[in-house]
A and B are shown apart, each in its own frame.
Chain A
Amino acid sequence: EVHLVESGGGLVQPGGSLRLSCAASGFTFSSYWMHWVRQVPGKGLVWVSRINTDGSSTSYADSVKGRFTISRDNAKNTVYLQMNSVRVDDTAVYYCARPSITRAYFELWGRGTQVTVSS
């Protein structure tokens, strides 16, 4: 069975850092691009970042560009989101998502990990 499991969330102070992980299982991880999407509780879904299959190409939402870094380790079937210089408005549930092999929609989602930025 295919799964994505996020971890690494928690409470962090403004200006601090946090690294999220998303462990994949049940499919050939190295064949898929991977994304991070976040959601403030009670609000909508917001795309954060994506990485291609070998990690050579990444993209970010303007709101996190220069602060967050996405990376992956295909040997460990894991994608990461390094969050630096975090702000209060980064508080959200962070989901990793796998697009279809055609990269047309998100067909697999993790359950999410909560990140709270507060002093």
Chain B
Amino acid sequence: EIVLTQSPGTLSLSPGERATLSCRAGQSVTSVYLTWYQQKPGQAPRLLIYGASNRATGIPDRFSGSGSGTDFTLTISRLEPEDFAVYYCQQYGTSPHFGQGTRLEIK
């Protein structure tokens, strides 16, 4: 079982600022299987980034993913009001696992 640890637990920023979210794996993860999702209250998760760095269809280019091995990062270059949500990283293995999430809140 690969444990994913996200940090920080909560990130308080203002619109226009840059957000950097971290996802650290307990053992090496193949980048193709590292994914980021966004979830807003009352909604299902939404695919953001797959393969560690590929934006899903319709995702604005202010979202970017990077990393390899055990350390992955989701960056939102300039926060828009609609970006405040919870973000999860996930590895798709034999039994997929999610990180515990980072809550991005308006400061």
In which size bucket is the chain B interface? 20 to 34
Q: With an 8 A cutoff between CB atoms, is B47 at the interface?
A: yes
Of residues 19 through 39 on chain B, the ones whose CB sits less than 8 Å from some CB of chain A are 32-33, 35, 37, 39
Interface of A is mostly: strand
Question: Taking A44-B88, A100-B50 as contacts, is the C-beta distance between A106 and B45 under 8 angstroms?
Answer: yes
Decide: A59 and B98 in contact? CB cutoff 8 A: no
Chain A residues, CB < 8 A from B44? 95, 109-112
Interchain CB contact (< 8 A) of A106 among B32, B51, B90, B94: B90
- Among all A-B residue pairs, the 5 with the closest Cβ atoms: A109-B44, A105-B35, A105-B50, A45-B98, A47-B96
23 A–B contacts, CB within 8 A, in A order: A37-B96, A44-B98, A44-B99, A45-B37, A45-B39, A45-B45, A45-B88, A59-B94, A59-B95, A61-B95, A95-B45, A104-B33, A104-B35, A104-B50, A105-B33, A105-B35, A105-B47, A106-B35, A106-B37, A106-B47, A106-B96, A109-B44, A109-B46
